[in-house]
C-alpha cells in the first residue's frame, strides 16, 4: 500500500478491556513492506491493533490474488481443486443447517459476507428465500447478475423475520461487531440459528507457521478466535452455542497458502503438517482444527 492509511486503536470486542499485550508482528502477505501488530487480551481474543479505519479498509481487498469473489476466465489445477472442495463444503454445511432447521419451503436466509452469492445460490436451489449481505460492490453486481437478492444493511431487515443466518469466514473482517451481532439477534426469529465459520488460532498449522500463517491475513482479518473466545463473544449477544465441528477442508488450504515456496521440499513438508494436523484433530476435535464451524441459537 503506497499511500499510508489512517489507523485507529480499539478495545477488546469480547470484554471491552483496553488492557492488552503484544502478541505478534505479521506482514501483509500482498505487500511485505507492511507490518501490523497483533495484540492479545486477558480474555483470550487476539486482534489487530491499531488497524485501518472502516472507510479505508476496502483498499486492502483490491488485489487480484486475494479477491475470492471474482470469476477467473482461465482456471489452473489449484482453482479446479478449490472449487471441488468448496462444492463439497457447501453440501456439508447444508447438511448441518438441515439438522437444526428441518426443511420446509420458503425458509428465509441471509448470508453475511456472501461475496458473489455462491452459497446463496446453493440455498436458493434448495428452496430457501435467500439474501446476500456483502460490502463489495463488485461482488454484489455479480450476485445480482445471478438473480440473487442483496441487502445493503441488516438495519433494513424486519425484526424476527429470518429463519437462518450464515457467516462463512466473514465476522473476522467486520469493524462494527457490536452493531452486527445486535442486528443479527434482532432479525432472527426466536430460537432460530446462526451458523459461523472462523479460523482457529489454536490450530496445529498455526503452531507450525507462526507469523507466516495465512489466516492471520493482516490487515483484512481484524480478530482471531479459538472456540472458547468465540463462545464468550456469542454469549454477550444472547446466543447459545449448541454445536461445533472441525472444517477439515480448511486445513489443507491454509497449509498450502502458508507455504512461501511451492518447491518439492515444501510440498513434502506441507503433507507432513497435514497428516500431523489430522492426527491431532482426530484426538482433540475442533479445538485443534485450522477452522471450526459453530452453530448458535438465539436466546
Tell me how far apart the alpha carbons of residues 113 and 102 are, in angstroms, rounded to a whole number.
24
CATH number for the domain including 263?
Answer: 3.40.50.150
Query: For residue 150, what pLDDT band results from cuts at 50, 70 and 90?
Result: very high
Count of domains for the chain: 1
Mean pLDDT of 247-261: 84
Would you say residue 137 has pLDDT above 60? yes
Question: Which DSSP letter does residue 225 get?
Answer: B
Q: Which distant-in-sequence residues (6+ apart) come within 8 Å of 16 by Cβ?
A: none
> What's the confidence (pLDDT) of residue 252?
85
Assess whether pLDDT exceeds 60 at residue 87: yes
pLDDT band at residue 257 under the 50/70/90 scheme: confident
Average pLDDT over residues 249-270: 83
Predicted confidence (pLDDT) at residue 88 exceeds the cutoff of 80 = yes
Helix (H) or strand (E) holding 291: strand 291-298
Domain residue limits at 289: 80-298
In a domain, 45, yes or no: no
pLDDT tens digits, one per residue of 170-189: 999 999 999 999 999 999 99
pLDDT of residue 145: 80
pTM of the model: 0.93
Going by pLDDT thresholds of 50, 70 and 90, the confidence category of residue 43 is very high
The region that residue 219 occupies, defined by phi over 0 for left and psi between -120 and 50 for alpha, beta otherwise, is alpha
134, exposed or middle or buried, with CB in 10 Å at 0-12, 13-18, 19+?
buried
Strand partners, 196: 167, 294
Compute the distance between CA of residue 185 and CA of residue 54 in angstroms, rounded to an integer. Answer: 22
283 inside domain: yes
The runs of H, that is alpha helices, within the chain are 77-100, 118-125, 137-145, 177-187, 204-209, 227-236, 248-258, 264-284
Instruction: Return d(Cα 24, Cα 224) in angstroms, integer.
Output: 12
In a domain, 23, yes or no: no
| Residues of the chain above pLDDT 90, percent | 73
What does the pLDDT read at residue 72?
57
For 16, other C-beta atoms within 10 Å of its C-beta total 11
Amino acid at each position: 500500500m503506497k499511500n499510508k492509511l489512517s489507523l485507529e486503536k480499539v478495545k477488546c470486542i469480547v470484554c471491552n478491556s483496553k488492557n492488552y499485550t503484544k502478541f505478534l508482528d505479521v506482514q501483509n502477505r500482498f505487500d511485505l513492506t507492511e507490518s501490523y501488530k497483533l495484540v492479545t487480551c486477558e480474555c483470550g481474543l487476539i486482534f489487530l491493533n491499531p488497524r485501518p479505519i472502516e472507510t479505508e479498509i476496502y483498499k486492502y481487498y483490491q488485489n487480484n490474488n486475494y479477491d475470492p469473489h471474482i470469476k477467473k476466465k482461465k482456471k489452473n489445477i489449484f482453482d479446479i481443486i478449490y472449487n471441488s472442495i468448496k462444492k463439497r463444503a457447501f453440501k456439508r454445511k447444508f447438511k448441518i443447517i438441515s439438522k437444526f432447521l428441518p426443511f420446509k419451503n420458503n425458509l428465509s436466509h441471509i448470508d453475511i459476507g456472501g461475496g458473489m452469492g455462491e452459497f446463496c445460490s446453493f440455498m436458493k436451489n434448495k428452496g430457501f428465500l435467500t439474501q446476500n449481505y456483502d460490502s463489495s460492490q463488485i461482488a454484489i453486481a455479480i450476485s445480482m447478475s445471478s438473480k440473487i437478492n442483496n441487502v445493503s444493511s441488516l438495519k433494513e431487515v424486519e425484526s424476527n423475520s429470518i429463519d437462518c443466518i450464515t457467516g462463512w469466514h466473514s465476522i473476522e473482517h467486520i469493524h462494527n461487531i457490536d452493531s452486527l451481532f445486535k442486528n443479527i439477534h434482532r432479525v432472527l426469529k426466536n430460537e432460530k440459528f446462526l451458523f459461523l465459520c472462523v479460523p482457529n488460532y489454536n490450530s496445529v498449522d498455526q503452531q507450525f507457521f507462526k507469523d507466516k500463517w495465512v489466516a492471520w491475513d493482516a490487515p483484512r482479518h481484524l480478530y482471531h478466535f479459538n472456540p472458547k473466545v468465540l463462545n464468550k463473544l456469542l454469549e454477550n449477544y444472547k446466543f447459545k452455542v449448541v454445536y461445533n465441528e472441525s472444517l477439515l477442508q480448511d486445513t489443507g488450504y491454509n497449509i498450502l497458502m502458508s507455504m512461501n515456496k511451492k518447491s518439492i521440499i515444501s510440498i513434502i513438508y506441507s503433507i507432513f503438517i497435514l497428516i500431523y494436523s489430522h492426527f491431532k484433530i482426530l484426538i482433540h476435535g475442533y479445538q485443534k482444527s485450522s477452522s471450526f464451524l459453530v452453530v448458535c441459537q438465539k436466546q
